[in-house]
């Protein structure tokens, strides 16, 4: 018999007879593939977007000079007068908010006079006249996607002030990945309050000597604090910073695929068991073991291929949603970005197909090789109709214990190259251990509970638990699929819940001021617009203001990774404040160490990334100098993954003399009414666009951002659960077909249709219950791995374990309910069977 005929008879034809179940299996694979693809595409788009927003206007420059807090104008002069044929272009990069739309847009300031003389200005104005030397430097040039007309005015929020700017010109920004506002550099210095400084200088150097040589040559000619780096370093820094985040998200996205794998395993097992007689016949007719194996693997490959094709389309759709969620997270936690375009490349399609087909074939290997081992005699003998495949409970349980032990051991070693590889291995081993332990657990629990179930639920309880034991393999695989999804939901739920609680506690301890002020505009962790210091002075003198903390932040780069440099004055430190430091020392102790010294506190993620500890010393680039600092302590901090380095305000002012703070914290004096003081503050800041947050507002805002960050993980969890429940529905359909004779018989024995329905729903419910139990235990174990290994090694955050009880209970109950609902349609099919017809089928 030709392989093709064999494949058609044995595999394809039966699939078309059960279109719904076939469709459910394909859809399960499709969702798994779609999630992986969507996360990948969205991740690329979210990370790729730095390139468009920040490297815009880089032109064909080779090197970039930057310094923390900006470069003095003089550096531009120094560079321009060096005896080399280099082209020098100063830049200021910041963000403005378009008042009309609330949209935050990059502001890029260039030397319009210098660069138009240079004839290089075209880099911005693809073909437009707009950026030619305009004669009038005031005003702004806008990207076309902002939909403004030249000659009109646009209202922009810059730092704490809103002003109308004349639109001098509009240029095509379609190649830039989004809207940009361009300004003359001198105007921008004025508007941003950064007189005498630029953010960076772009250099174009001759081809020889090599870039590295130019880098060191120019570094030598510049102040110590200035960094000379190849253009694009910032982008790769940002991408490196995002790597851990993306990596973890990607791992999470594979869970749905794993659940899909369980379902393929089950589908192929059902095929094999049902077709044992046919296998025997074709084997007797001379088909080889290998062709039987090949036939069933081909079945899996068909599911995989169909699923992957569908998954690619679905993934592209999901990617749009995922990108929205991702870019919000990236914006809140990492760096201002605009989502780039989602690019569905042939490579990503091919990878998606390979993943879909590969996963399916691997999942099908055990049942397919079992089919190949069927001897011609065995399969043709009677009594093989039951789904009674051998399950080696005891042996599997032993292996499970071994794997679990391995999983625990793997939780110990440190990260490899910043990636918690052993942590992942540990999670995989634990998942495998639970999958192998399920038959023994299910068998034990069902056996001991059968009579109890009969008492509580009635005879359906007994029948259901007996038939689940009777087809232990199928039961185990379904429980395995659903419990994996539940474990993921539980573990991530516990991790996020613990994280949330930790952050809340930390904020309660650390946010002690009554009012917080920052310039209006959308918050982003890498944007630090400022408030005039004179205004802060005025506020400090208001009646009822007991203390005022000024916080100033700069973005800087430390050993190839971006971070935030901050300075605070700690006049109003509360003595009762809990320690925020790893050492456990009191805040006032630590602050007195900071005062008057070149000393800093670094945040936990920063210390983690750069392997720093209390007592170490780090050299920070500050303005034009490089200054060694002593680390007096490491602080718990959950505000930014990039990390903070914080020093006393007076210390920072010595190196970066700009006194304008980015944030203010006001402490209301005892005996004064908060609302009265707030009204006073409001009056004082009139004319400035500054937001006031009460302590409660600020925390709520922070928690809102936190919650938004994890929406995508919830979405991933939900999809895994959907895949698992779909699989259960499909498996129950198969079960109804396989057990139709039993259902017919029960009708003969006096069962009402409602009892048949109840039986199937109870079976579904028991699968749900078992999966909840196993999933919860596994999830708890995985949550420890997530909190103490994977998260710690990826991000460096210390998270206190916490039970998000309400969420856990409700989501477990929800999954349980969904499983029962998954039984409704199969139950309907079972009820519609004609008992007379099915009972005599052999």
Residues that bind another protein (CB under 8 A): 383, 386, 454, 458-459, 462-463, 466-467, 469-470, 741-742, 745-755, 835-836, 839-840, 842
Judged by beta carbon, residue 470 or residue 659, the one nearer another protein is 470
Chain centroid to CA 622: 33
Q: State the residue for tokens 């918050």.
A: 523
CB of residue 40 vs another protein: minimum separation in angstroms?
45
Cα–Cα distance measured from residue 496 to residue 488, given in angstroms and rounded to the nearest whole number: 12
- We find the least distance from the C-beta atom of residue 754 to another protein, in angstroms, to be 8
**CA-only gyration radius of the chain, Å:** 32
Q: Report, in Å, the least distance between residue 758 CB and another protein.
A: 11
Q: Which is nearer to another protein, 641 or 763 (CB)?
A: 763
Give strand pairing partners of 229. Answer: 64
Instruction: Give the DSSP per-residue string, 561-620.
Output: EEEEEEEE--TT--TTPPP-BTT---HHHHHHHHTTSSEEEEEHHHHHHTT--TT-EEEE
Q: Which is nearer to another protein, 360 or 471 (CB)?
A: 471
Least distance in angstroms from the C-beta of 782 to another protein: 34
Report the residue number, 454 or 583, with the smaller CB distance to another protein. Answer: 454
> Which residue number, 248 or 467, has a Cβ lying nearer to another protein?
467
Nearer to another protein, 652 or 759 (CB): 759
Q: What angle do CA 718, 441, 790 make, to 5 degrees?
A: 45
As a whole number of angstroms, the longest Cα–Cα distance in the chain is: 103
Q: Which is nearer to another protein, 475 or 794 (CB)?
A: 475
- Please report the DSSP string for 159-227 in residue order: TTEEEEEEEEEEE--TTTTS--EEEEHHHHHHHHT-TTEEEEEEEE--SSS-HHHHHHHHHHHS-TT-E
Token pair 């700009």 is found at: 658
Alpha-carbon span 738 to 86, nearest angstrom: 79
Q: Please check whether residue 188 is in contact with residue 107, taking contact to mean a CB–CB distance below 8 angstroms.
A: yes
> Tell me, what DSSP letter sits at residue 786?
I
Q: Shortest distance, CB of residue 741 to another protein, whole angstroms?
A: 8
Query: Nearest approach, Cβ of 712 to another protein (angstroms)?
Result: 44
Cα separations in angstroms, 676 against 542, 543, 668, 683, 692? 11, 10, 10, 11, 14
Candidates 275, 308, 301; CA nearest to 364 is 301
- Say which residues have a Cβ less than 8 Å from residue 589's Cβ, sequence separation at least 6: none
Contact 179, 145 (CB under 8 A): yes
Contacts of residue 13, Cβ cutoff 8 Å, sequence gap at least 6: none
Q: What share of the chain is helix, strand, coil (3-state, %, to 5)?
A: 60, 15, 25
* Phi, psi (deg, nearest 5) at residue 656: -125, 100
* 536/734 with CB nearer another protein: 734
Residue 538 and residue 835: Cα distance in Å, rounded?
Answer: 88
The nearer residue to another protein, 21 or 747, going by C-beta atoms, is 747
Closest to 601 measured CA to CA, from 626, 572, 635:
635
Question: Pairing state of beta strands 181-184 and 545-558?
Answer: unpaired
Nearer to another protein, 627 or 745 (CB): 745
- For residue 391, the minimal CB distance to another protein (Å) is 14
Contacts with 206 (C-beta within 8 Å, 6 or more apart), sequence order: 84, 85, 86
In the bound complex, what is the minimum distance in angstroms from residue 293's beta carbon to another protein? 29
Q: What is the DSSP letter of 118?
A: T
Q: Shortest approach of another protein to residue 766 CB, angstroms?
A: 14
Instruction: Give the nearer residue to another protein in terms of CB position, either 479 or 751.
Output: 751
Q: Rank residues 276 and 518 by Cβ distance to another protein and give the closer one.
A: 276
Q: Which is nearer to another protein, 550 or 747 (CB)?
A: 747
Q: Secondary structure of 195-209 in the HEC alphabet?
A: CCEEEEEEEECCCCC
In the complex, minimum distance from the CB of residue 42 to another protein, in angstroms, rounded to a whole number: 48
SS3 388: coil
Of 619 and 754, CB closest to another protein: 754
**Of the two residues 216 and 834, which places its CB atom closer to another protein in the complex?**
834
| C-beta of 386 vs 589, nearer to another protein | 386
CB of 464 to another protein, least distance (A): 10
Nearest distance, CB of residue 831 and another protein, angstroms: 10
Nearer to another protein, 213 or 386 (CB): 386
Q: Supply 89's token pair.
A: 């272009």
Answer yes or no: are the C-beta atoms of 549 and 715 closer than 8 Å: no
Query: Using an 8 Å Cβ cutoff, are 446 and 766 in contact?
Result: yes
- Cβ at position 476, least distance to another protein in Å: 16
Question: Smallest distance from the beta carbon of 762 to another protein, in angstroms?
Answer: 14
Residues 6+ apart with CB under 8 A from 26: 303, 306, 307, 310
DSSP 331-386: HHHT-----------HHHHHHHHHHHHHHHHHHHHHHHHHHHH--HHHHHSSS--S
Least distance between another protein and beta carbon 447 (Å): 12
Q: From the CB of 382, what's the least distance to another protein, in Å?
A: 11
Nearest distance from C-beta of residue 373 to another protein, angstroms:
22
């Amino acid at each position: 018999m030709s392989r093709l005929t064999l494949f058609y008879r044995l595999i394809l034809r039966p699939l078309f007879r059960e279109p719904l179940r076939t469709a459910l299996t394909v859809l399960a694979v499709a969702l798994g593939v779609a999630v992986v693809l969507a996360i990948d595409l969205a991740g690329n788009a979210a990370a790729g977007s730095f390139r468009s927003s920040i490297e815009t206007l880089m032109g064909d420059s080779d090197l970039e000079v930057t310094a923390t807090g900006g470069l003095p104008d003089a550096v531009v002069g120094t560079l321009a007068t060096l005896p080399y044929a280099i082209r020098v272009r100063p830049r200021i990069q910041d963000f403005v908010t378009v008042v009309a739309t609330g949209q935050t847009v990059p502001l890029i300031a260039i030397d319009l006079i210098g660069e138009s003389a240079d004839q290089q200005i075209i880099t911005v104005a693809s073909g437009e006249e707009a950026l030619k030397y305009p004669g009038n430097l005031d005003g702004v040039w806008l990207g076309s996607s902002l939909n403004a007309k030249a000659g009109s005015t646009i209202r922009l929020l810059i730092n704490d002030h809103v002003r109308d700017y004349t639109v001098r010109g509009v240029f095509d920004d379609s190649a830039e990945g989004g809207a940009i506002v361009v300004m003359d550099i001198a105007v921008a210095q004025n508007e941003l309050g950064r007189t005498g400084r630029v953010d960076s200088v772009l250099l174009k150097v001759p081809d020889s000597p090599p870039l590295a040589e130019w880098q060191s040559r120019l570094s030598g000619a510049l102040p110590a604090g200035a960094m000379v780096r190849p253009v694009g370093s910032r982008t790769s820094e940002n991408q490196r910073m995002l790597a851990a985040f993306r990596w973890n998200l990607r791992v999470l996205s594979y869970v749905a695929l794993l659940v899909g794998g369980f379902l393929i395993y089950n589908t192929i097992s059902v095929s094999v068991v049902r077709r044992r007689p046919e296998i025997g016949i074709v084997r007797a007719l001379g088909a080889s073991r290998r062709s039987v194996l090949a036939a069933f693997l081909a079945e899996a490959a068909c599911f995989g291929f169909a699923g992957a094709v569908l998954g690619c389309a679905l993934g592209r759709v999901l990617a749009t949603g995922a990108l929205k969620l991702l870019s919000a997270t990236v914006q809140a936690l990492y760096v201002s970005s605009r989502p780039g375009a989602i690019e569905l490349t042939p490579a990503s399609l091919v990878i998606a197909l390979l993943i879909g087909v590969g996963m399916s074939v691997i999942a099908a290997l055990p049942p397919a090789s079992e089919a190949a081992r069927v001897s011609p005699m065995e399969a043709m003998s009677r009594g093989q109709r039951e789904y009674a495949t051998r399950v080696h409970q005891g042996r599997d349980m032993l292996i499970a214990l071994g794997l679990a032990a391995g999983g625990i051991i793997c939780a110990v070693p440190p990260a490899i190259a910043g990636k918690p590889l052993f942590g992942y291995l540990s999670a995989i081993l634990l998942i495998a251990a639970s999958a192998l332990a399920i038959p023994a657990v299910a068998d034990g629990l069902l056996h001991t509970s059968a009579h109890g179930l009969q008492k509580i639920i009635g005879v359906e309880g007994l029948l259901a638990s007996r038939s689940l034991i009777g087809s232990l393999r199928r039961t185990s695989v379904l429980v395995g699929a659903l419990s994996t999804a539940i474990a993921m939901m539980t573990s991530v739920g516990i991790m996020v819940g613990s994280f949330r609680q930790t952050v809340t506690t930390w904020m309660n301890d650390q946010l002690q001021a009554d009012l917080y002020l920052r310039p209006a505009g959308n918050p982003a962790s890498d944007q630090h617009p400022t408030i005039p210091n004179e205004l802060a002075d005025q506020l400090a003198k208001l009646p009822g203001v007991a203390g005022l903390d000024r916080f100033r932040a700069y973005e800087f780069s430390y050993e190839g990774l971006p971070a935030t440099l901050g300075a605070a004055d700690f006049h109003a430190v509360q003595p009762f404040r809990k320690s925020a430091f790893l050492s456990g020392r009191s805040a006032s102790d630590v602050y007195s160490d900071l005062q008057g010294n070149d000393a800093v506190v670094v945040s936990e993620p920063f210390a983690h990334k750069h392997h720093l500890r209390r007592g170490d010393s780090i050299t920070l680039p500050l303005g034009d100098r490089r200054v060694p600092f002593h680390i007096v302590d490491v602080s718990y901090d959950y505000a930014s993954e990039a990390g903070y380095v914080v020093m006393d305000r007076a210390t920072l002012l010595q190196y970066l003399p700009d006194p304008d703070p980015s944030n203010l914290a006001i402490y209301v004096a005892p005996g004064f009414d908060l609302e009265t003081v707030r009204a006073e503050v409001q009056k004082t800041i009139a004319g400035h666009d500054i937001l006031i947050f009460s302590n409660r507002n600020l925390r709520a805002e922070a928690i809102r951002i936190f919650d938004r960050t994890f929406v995508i993980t919830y979405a991933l969890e939900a999809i895994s659960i959907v895949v698992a429940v779909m699989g259960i529905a499909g498996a129950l359909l198969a079960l109804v077909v396989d057990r139709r004779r039993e259902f017919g018989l029960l009708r003969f024995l006096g069962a009402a249709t409602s009892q048949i329905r109840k039986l199937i729903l109870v079976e579904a419910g028991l699968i749900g219950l078992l999966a909840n139990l196993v999933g919860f235990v596994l999830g708890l174990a995985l949550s420890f791995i997530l909190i103490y290994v994977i998260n710690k090694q990826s991000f460096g955050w210390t998270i206190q374990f916490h039970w998000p009880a309400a969420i856990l209970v409700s989501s477990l109950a929800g999954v349980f309910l969904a499983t029962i609902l998954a039984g409704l349609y199969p139950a309907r099919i079972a009820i519609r069977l004609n008992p007379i017809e099915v009972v005599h089928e052999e």
